Amino acid sequence: MKINPPLLAAAEEALGRVLTMTQPADAVLSSYFRAHRELGQHDRAFIAETIFGVLRRRYGLEYHIAATTPRRLLLAYLNRVHGVSLRQLEPLLGRDDALWAAALKSTRDGAPLPLYVAAELPPWLTAMLAAEMPEAEILALGRALAQPALLDLRVNALLTTREKVLQQLVIEGINARPTPHAPFGIRLDGNPALSRNPLFTSGRIEVQDEGSQLLCLLLAPKRREMVVDFCAGAGGKTLALGALMQSQGRLYAFDVSEARLNKFKPRLKRSGLSNVHPQLLANENDIKVKRLAGKIDRVLVDAPCSGFGTLRRNPDLKWRQSEAGIAELAAKQRAILSAAAALLKPGGRLVYATCSFLRVENQDIVAAFLAAHPQFGLVPANQVLEQQRIALDTGEFLQLYPQHHGCDGFFAAVMARAK
């Protein structure tokens, strides 16, 4: 695609707004595009892809070539990562930029890189990870998170089969294959538009990362049970749980955000499920929760977390999260898990999950919960998956990493209340 000065100026303006880090990058871009309807589809795609590319590689761009302004970050990314030559960029350069660009050839490429630069992760996060894993693993994790995520789908088994969906995608010229572990998952190459595809509009498929699908399989809800998705959000996991229950029993979708539950409504309508009951909560101690205490068979807690496991999709989190914010989240995670556990009847199953790979949000939360709630015991996640004929063994906890499993980073612990 030819990059002209107006297009670069639009990308520069949009990136400048994103770099304030006051809102998620995708929300900022959506707002920017609504205000600039003159931008065509290809222009918008270029702006979005380039800005997300800059966010994925920002530490390296700033370290190597002092690209610190939105314009220079864009130019450096186009040259160093996207492969646009300096000669091709020349028409876009002013005098000052031209002098700066001439220095791109004399960078510190040969010098040893600080680990945080090589891994494209915040220094504080790199230091936190260094206490948990070897340097080579941090580097592999960071490099995997710096790549765009592939698109995973979940087939709605109430309405069709994975084989039929794969056949239809092949007919439409979309490269697709089964996910390695999730039995209803499909992985696509590229990012094809699906919002108007009949498979999507009819509810036969939903966009859902394979790791997210595996969390639902750990809960393993059964027909006619009472089940709660405690932090339902926009309902992706709720829909997967409802399908596993074959639309029988009663499935509550709890969340404290009315906006998220409103986004869930059209998805629920498409799904064909009749056993789902969305509930807006004021907080984790809402009376709606207390009324169900001791009555629920299974509870999924996909807790609010740093989201670092989703950096492939949300690279701006590297600057919007902080070490202090992680500590605040841990307190919230402990409170939510304790409130959710009170719902379970004797013999019930509790799954605590995050899209994070940090021990402070995962193993530490589970250990503190088990110490304070002796009526609960840990159930090895590998045993639960083996019972469902899923050949995936990450030990007593489910711990997924993009560099090893090809999906987002997820953690989950399975716990059971004593009978």
**Catalytic choice (216, 231, 305, 355):** 355
Domain membership of residue 198 (yes or no) is no
Q: Which of 85, 111, 137 is the last residue of a domain?
A: 111
Q: According to the model, what pLDDT value does residue 98 have?
A: 77
Residue 141 placed within a domain: no
Least trusted range by pLDDT, from 16-20, 78-82, 374-378: 78-82
Q: Is residue 89 part of a domain?
A: yes
Identify whether residues 257 and 376 lie together within a single domain: yes
Is the domain of 346 the same as that of 239? yes
94 with 230, same domain: the answer is no
Q: How far is 325 from 356, CA to CA, in rounded Å?
A: 14
Q: What is the pLDDT of residue 1?
A: 63
Over the stretch 84-115, which tens digit does the pLDDT of each residue have?
887 888 888 877 777 777 766 655 556 688 99
Same domain, 362 and 246: yes
Over residues 263-288, the mean pLDDT reads 94
Q: Which amino acid is at 222?
A: K
Q: Domain range spanning residue 29?
A: 5-111
CATH label of the domain that carries residue 219? 3.40.50.150
Last residue of a domain, one of 111, 144, 163: 111
Compute the average pLDDT of residues 147-161: 96
Would you place residue 366 in the very low, low, confident or very high pLDDT band (cuts 50, 70, 90)?
very high
Higher pLDDT, 30 or 86: 30
pLDDT band at 338 (very low <50, low <70, confident <90, very high): very high
In a domain, 373, yes or no: yes
Question: Is 119 inside a domain boundary?
Answer: no
Position 63 in a domain = yes
* Average pLDDT along the chain: 94
Q: Which of 82, 111, 140 is the last residue of a domain?
A: 111
Kindly report whether the global pTM for this prediction surpasses the value 0.85. yes
Q: Above 90 in pLDDT, residue 191?
A: no
pLDDT at residue 24 above 60?
yes
Confidence of residue 330 (pLDDT cuts 50, 70, 90): very high
pLDDT of residue 104: 67
Position 329 in a domain: yes
Examine residue 392 and state whether it is found in any structural domain, yes or no. yes
Summarize pLDDT for 67-78 with one digit per residue, the tens. Answer: 789 999 999 899
**Whether 214 and 99 share a structural domain:** no
**Nearest partner of 268 among 217, 214, 232, judged by Cα:** 232
Q: How far apart are CA 196 and CA 167, in angstroms?
A: 18
Same domain membership, residue 219 and residue 77: no
355 is catalytic: yes
Q: Taking 80 as the threshold, does the pLDDT of residue 50 lie above it?
A: yes
- Whether residue 296 is predicted with pLDDT greater than 80 in this model: the reply is yes
What's the confidence (pLDDT) of residue 38?
94
Look at the chain and report how many structural domains it folds into.
2
Q: What is the mean pLDDT of residues 55-59?
A: 96
Q: Residue 316: pLDDT band by 50, 70, 90 thresholds?
A: very high
Pick from 18, 12, 113: nearest CA to 318: 18
Spell out the residues 6+ positions from residue 197 whose beta carbon is closer than 8 angstroms to its own.
Answer: 172, 205
Residue 198 CB partners (closer than 8 Å, separation 6+): none
At residue 96, the pLDDT reads 75
pLDDT, residue 108, reads 54
Could you give the percent of the chain with pLDDT greater than 90? 85
